[in-house]
Structure 1
Protein backbone atom coordinates (compact mmCIF):
# COMPACT_ATOMS: atom_id res chain seq x y z
CA UNK A 1 0.00 0.00 0.00
CA UNK A 2 1.44 3.37 -0.92
CA UNK A 3 1.64 6.48 1.24
CA UNK A 4 -1.32 8.12 -0.53
CA UNK A 5 -3.56 5.19 0.47
CA UNK A 6 -2.26 5.25 4.06
CA UNK A 7 -3.03 8.96 4.33
CA UNK A 8 -6.50 8.40 2.86
CA UNK A 9 -7.26 5.80 5.54
CA UNK A 10 -5.78 7.96 8.30
CA UNK A 11 -8.15 10.81 7.37
CA UNK A 12 -11.11 8.43 6.95
CA UNK A 13 -10.53 6.73 10.31
CA UNK A 14 -10.03 10.07 12.07
CA UNK A 15 -13.36 11.29 10.66
CA UNK A 16 -15.05 8.05 11.72
CA UNK A 17 -13.62 8.45 15.22
CA UNK A 18 -14.89 12.02 15.52
CA UNK A 19 -18.37 11.02 14.31
CA UNK A 20 -18.60 8.04 16.66
CA UNK A 21 -17.43 10.13 19.59
CA UNK A 22 -19.97 12.87 18.84
CA UNK A 23 -22.78 10.32 18.54
CA UNK A 24 -21.76 8.82 21.86
CA UNK A 25 -21.76 12.20 23.55
CA UNK A 26 -25.22 12.98 22.15
CA UNK A 27 -26.51 9.62 23.34
CA UNK A 28 -25.31 10.30 26.86
CA UNK A 29 -26.85 13.78 26.81
CA UNK A 30 -30.20 12.38 25.66
CA UNK A 31 -30.18 9.79 28.42
CA UNK A 32 -29.42 12.27 31.18
CA UNK A 33 -32.28 14.53 30.06
CA UNK A 34 -34.89 11.82 30.74
CA UNK A 35 -35.96 12.34 34.36
CA UNK A 36 -39.69 12.16 33.69
CA UNK A 37 -42.28 10.63 36.00
CA UNK A 38 -44.87 8.46 34.27
CA UNK A 39 -48.36 7.87 35.60
CA UNK A 40 -49.03 5.12 33.05
CA UNK A 41 -46.94 1.94 33.45
CA UNK A 42 -47.05 1.38 29.67
CA UNK A 43 -45.41 4.75 29.07
CA UNK A 44 -42.74 3.88 31.63
CA UNK A 45 -42.14 0.50 29.95
CA UNK A 46 -41.80 2.17 26.55
CA UNK A 47 -39.27 4.62 27.96
CA UNK A 48 -37.28 1.79 29.56
CA UNK A 49 -37.31 -0.15 26.29
CA UNK A 50 -36.08 2.91 24.40
CA UNK A 51 -33.38 3.42 27.01
CA UNK A 52 -32.19 -0.20 26.69
CA UNK A 53 -32.06 0.19 22.91
CA UNK A 54 -30.05 3.40 23.27
CA UNK A 55 -27.61 1.66 25.60
CA UNK A 56 -27.10 -1.14 23.06
CA UNK A 57 -26.36 1.44 20.38
CA UNK A 58 -23.94 3.21 22.72
CA UNK A 59 -22.16 -0.07 23.41
CA UNK A 60 -21.77 -0.70 19.67
CA UNK A 61 -20.37 2.81 19.22
CA UNK A 62 -17.94 2.26 22.10
CA UNK A 63 -16.66 -0.96 20.50
CA UNK A 64 -16.36 0.78 17.13
CA UNK A 65 -14.33 3.58 18.73
CA UNK A 66 -11.89 1.00 20.12
CA UNK A 67 -11.57 -0.64 16.70
CA UNK A 68 -10.96 2.71 15.01
CA UNK A 69 -8.31 3.63 17.59
CA UNK A 70 -6.64 0.25 17.05
CA UNK A 71 -6.65 0.79 13.26
CA UNK A 72 -5.07 4.23 13.72
CA UNK A 73 -2.45 2.58 15.94
CA UNK A 74 -1.73 0.06 13.17
CA UNK A 75 -1.23 2.95 10.75
CA UNK A 76 1.30 4.44 13.16
CA UNK A 77 3.22 1.19 13.67
CA UNK A 78 3.16 0.26 9.98
CA UNK A 79 0.99 -2.86 10.26
CA UNK A 80 -2.20 -1.35 8.81
CA UNK A 81 -3.46 -3.28 5.79
CA UNK A 82 -1.63 -6.49 6.69
CA UNK A 83 -3.73 -9.54 7.58
CA UNK A 84 -3.30 -10.74 11.17
CA UNK A 85 -3.78 -14.37 10.07
CA UNK A 86 -1.75 -14.90 6.92
CA UNK A 87 0.44 -11.77 6.80
CA UNK A 88 -0.66 -10.90 3.26
CA UNK A 89 -1.81 -7.45 2.22
CA UNK A 90 -5.49 -6.66 2.73
CA UNK A 91 -6.90 -5.29 -0.51
CA UNK A 92 -7.73 -1.59 -0.70
CA UNK A 93 -11.35 -2.33 -1.77
CA UNK A 94 -11.81 -4.41 1.41
CA UNK A 95 -10.26 -1.67 3.54
CA UNK A 96 -12.54 0.91 1.93
CA UNK A 97 -15.55 -1.27 2.80
CA UNK A 98 -14.32 -2.01 6.35
CA UNK A 99 -11.38 0.23 7.33
CA UNK A 100 -11.06 -1.30 10.81
CA UNK A 101 -10.58 -4.85 9.51
CA UNK A 102 -7.58 -6.91 10.53
CA UNK A 103 -8.22 -9.84 8.17
CA UNK A 104 -8.02 -10.22 4.41
CA UNK A 105 -11.14 -11.44 2.65
CA UNK A 106 -9.89 -15.05 2.40
CA UNK A 107 -9.06 -15.30 6.13
CA UNK A 108 -12.34 -13.60 7.10
CA UNK A 109 -14.30 -16.02 4.92
CA UNK A 110 -12.49 -18.95 6.50
CA UNK A 111 -13.21 -17.56 9.98
CA UNK A 112 -16.92 -17.21 9.17
CA UNK A 113 -17.03 -20.74 7.75
CA UNK A 114 -15.39 -22.09 10.92
CA UNK A 115 -17.93 -20.19 13.06
CA UNK A 116 -20.79 -21.68 11.04
CA UNK A 117 -19.41 -25.19 11.53
CA UNK A 118 -18.99 -24.65 15.28
CA UNK A 119 -22.37 -22.92 15.55
CA UNK A 120 -21.03 -19.67 17.10
Structure 2
Protein backbone atom coordinates (compact mmCIF):
# COMPACT_ATOMS: atom_id res chain seq x y z
CA UNK A 1 0.00 0.00 0.00
CA UNK A 2 1.52 3.30 -1.09
CA UNK A 3 1.49 6.31 1.17
CA UNK A 4 -0.07 9.52 -0.05
CA UNK A 5 2.43 12.33 -0.50
CA UNK A 6 2.75 14.27 2.71
CA UNK A 7 2.36 18.03 2.48
CA UNK A 8 3.83 18.64 5.88
CA UNK A 9 4.00 21.93 7.72
CA UNK A 10 7.47 23.49 7.84
CA UNK A 11 9.56 21.87 10.58
CA UNK A 12 10.26 25.23 12.18
CA UNK A 13 6.53 25.86 12.74
CA UNK A 14 5.99 22.77 14.94
CA UNK A 15 5.57 23.24 18.69
CA UNK A 16 8.49 22.89 21.08
CA UNK A 17 8.79 23.38 24.83
CA UNK A 18 10.46 26.47 26.20
CA UNK A 19 14.23 26.00 26.05
CA UNK A 20 14.09 23.44 23.24
CA UNK A 21 15.49 24.16 19.81
CA UNK A 22 13.06 24.40 16.92
CA UNK A 23 12.48 21.31 14.83
CA UNK A 24 15.01 20.88 12.06
CA UNK A 25 14.05 19.46 8.68
CA UNK A 26 16.27 16.45 9.40
CA UNK A 27 14.56 15.74 12.75
CA UNK A 28 11.12 15.96 11.17
CA UNK A 29 12.23 13.76 8.27
CA UNK A 30 13.44 11.14 10.81
CA UNK A 31 10.08 11.16 12.58
CA UNK A 32 8.24 10.92 9.25
CA UNK A 33 10.44 8.04 8.10
CA UNK A 34 9.85 6.23 11.40
CA UNK A 35 6.08 6.74 11.19
CA UNK A 36 5.89 5.59 7.55
CA UNK A 37 8.11 2.56 8.22
CA UNK A 38 6.00 1.56 11.21
CA UNK A 39 2.81 2.13 9.21
CA UNK A 40 4.01 -0.04 6.31
CA UNK A 41 5.01 -2.81 8.74
CA UNK A 42 1.60 -2.67 10.45
CA UNK A 43 -0.25 -2.90 7.14
CA UNK A 44 1.77 -6.02 6.22
CA UNK A 45 1.10 -7.60 9.62
CA UNK A 46 -2.60 -6.80 9.42
CA UNK A 47 -2.90 -8.33 5.95
CA UNK A 48 -1.27 -11.54 7.19
CA UNK A 49 -3.48 -11.57 10.31
CA UNK A 50 -6.57 -11.07 8.17
CA UNK A 51 -5.69 -14.14 6.08
CA UNK A 52 -5.07 -16.14 9.27
CA UNK A 53 -8.37 -14.98 10.72
CA UNK A 54 -10.25 -15.85 7.52
CA UNK A 55 -8.89 -19.38 7.80
CA UNK A 56 -9.93 -19.61 11.44
CA UNK A 57 -13.41 -18.33 10.63
CA UNK A 58 -13.83 -20.99 7.93
CA UNK A 59 -12.71 -23.70 10.37
CA UNK A 60 -15.12 -22.42 13.03
CA UNK A 61 -18.17 -23.34 10.98
CA UNK A 62 -17.04 -26.92 10.42
CA UNK A 63 -17.51 -28.81 13.68
CA UNK A 64 -17.38 -32.24 12.09
CA UNK A 65 -14.58 -34.37 13.43
CA UNK A 66 -13.50 -31.86 16.07
CA UNK A 67 -13.77 -32.59 19.75
CA UNK A 68 -14.56 -29.91 22.32
CA UNK A 69 -10.87 -29.22 23.00
CA UNK A 70 -10.22 -28.58 19.29
CA UNK A 71 -13.22 -26.25 19.08
CA UNK A 72 -12.10 -24.44 22.24
CA UNK A 73 -8.55 -24.01 20.92
CA UNK A 74 -9.84 -22.69 17.59
CA UNK A 75 -12.16 -20.28 19.39
CA UNK A 76 -9.33 -19.09 21.65
CA UNK A 77 -7.02 -18.60 18.65
CA UNK A 78 -9.71 -16.69 16.75
CA UNK A 79 -10.34 -14.41 19.76
CA UNK A 80 -6.60 -13.84 20.13
CA UNK A 81 -6.28 -12.90 16.44
CA UNK A 82 -9.22 -10.50 16.75
CA UNK A 83 -7.61 -8.85 19.78
CA UNK A 84 -4.33 -8.46 17.89
CA UNK A 85 -6.13 -7.01 14.86
CA UNK A 86 -7.91 -4.44 17.03
CA UNK A 87 -4.62 -3.45 18.64
CA UNK A 88 -2.94 -3.09 15.25
CA UNK A 89 -5.87 -1.03 13.91
CA UNK A 90 -5.62 1.31 16.91
CA UNK A 91 -1.88 1.76 16.36
CA UNK A 92 -2.44 2.42 12.64
CA UNK A 93 -5.04 5.06 13.51
CA UNK A 94 -2.55 6.70 15.90
CA UNK A 95 0.09 6.80 13.18
CA UNK A 96 -2.34 8.26 10.66
CA UNK A 97 -3.35 10.87 13.24
CA UNK A 98 0.29 11.80 13.86
CA UNK A 99 0.86 12.17 10.10
CA UNK A 100 -2.24 14.36 9.80
CA UNK A 101 -1.03 16.52 12.70
CA UNK A 102 2.32 16.96 10.97
CA UNK A 103 0.40 18.05 7.86
CA UNK A 104 -1.67 20.64 9.67
CA UNK A 105 1.11 21.92 11.94
CA UNK A 106 -0.39 20.74 15.25
CA UNK A 107 2.13 17.94 15.78
CA UNK A 108 3.78 18.17 19.18
CA UNK A 109 0.87 19.99 20.85
CA UNK A 110 -0.85 18.19 23.75
CA UNK A 111 -4.44 17.36 22.86
CA UNK A 112 -5.48 17.80 26.48
CA UNK A 113 -3.86 21.01 27.73
CA UNK A 114 -2.69 22.58 24.44
CA UNK A 115 0.90 22.96 25.63
CA UNK A 116 3.90 21.59 23.70
CA UNK A 117 4.49 17.88 24.33
CA UNK A 118 8.25 18.19 24.10
CA UNK A 119 10.39 17.40 21.12
CA UNK A 120 12.34 14.62 22.86
CA UNK A 121 9.10 12.85 23.86
CA UNK A 122 7.64 12.88 20.35
CA UNK A 123 10.97 11.87 18.84
CA UNK A 124 11.05 8.88 21.20
CA UNK A 125 7.33 8.15 20.78
CA UNK A 126 6.17 9.74 17.50
CA UNK A 127 2.52 8.80 18.09
CA UNK A 128 2.32 10.77 21.37
CA UNK A 129 -0.66 13.09 21.62
CA UNK A 130 -0.34 14.07 25.29
CA UNK A 131 2.41 15.81 27.23
CA UNK A 132 3.99 13.79 30.03
CA UNK A 133 1.94 15.35 32.85
CA UNK A 134 -1.38 14.85 31.01
CA UNK A 135 -0.42 11.27 30.14
CA UNK A 136 0.43 10.54 33.77
CA UNK A 137 -2.86 12.08 34.89
CA UNK A 138 -4.74 9.93 32.36
CA UNK A 139 -3.00 6.76 33.54
CA UNK A 140 -3.87 7.44 37.20
CA UNK A 141 -7.59 7.43 36.37
Counterpart of 2:46 (choices 24, 28, 36) is: 24
Aligned to 2:130: 103
- Between structure 1 and structure 2, the one with the greater Rg is 2
Per the TM alignment, residue 5 of structure 1 is displaced from its structure 2 partner at its CA by 1.7
Q: Is 1:78 aligned to residue 105 of structure 2?
A: yes
TM-score, normalisation: structure 2: 0.73
Q: Distance in 2 between matches of 1:3 and 1:83?
A: 21
Per the TM alignment, residue 82 of structure 1 is displaced from its structure 2 partner at its CA by 1.5
Uncovered stretches (5+) of structure 1, i.e. residues with no partner: 116-120
Q: Is 1:12 aligned to residue 34 of structure 2?
A: yes
Per the TM alignment, residue 56 of structure 1 is displaced from its structure 2 partner at its CA by 0.5
Per the TM alignment, residue 89 of structure 1 is displaced from its structure 2 partner at its CA by 2.2
Aligned to 1:112: 139
Secondary structure at the counterpart of residue 82 of structure 1 = coil
Q: Deviations over 1:60-94 (max 9, x none)?
A: 11111111101000011111111123333222332
Aligned length: 114
TM-score, normalisation: structure 1: 0.84
Q: Deviations over 1:31-73 (max 9, x none)?
A: 2234444421111110110110110000111111111101000
Aligned to 2:91: 64
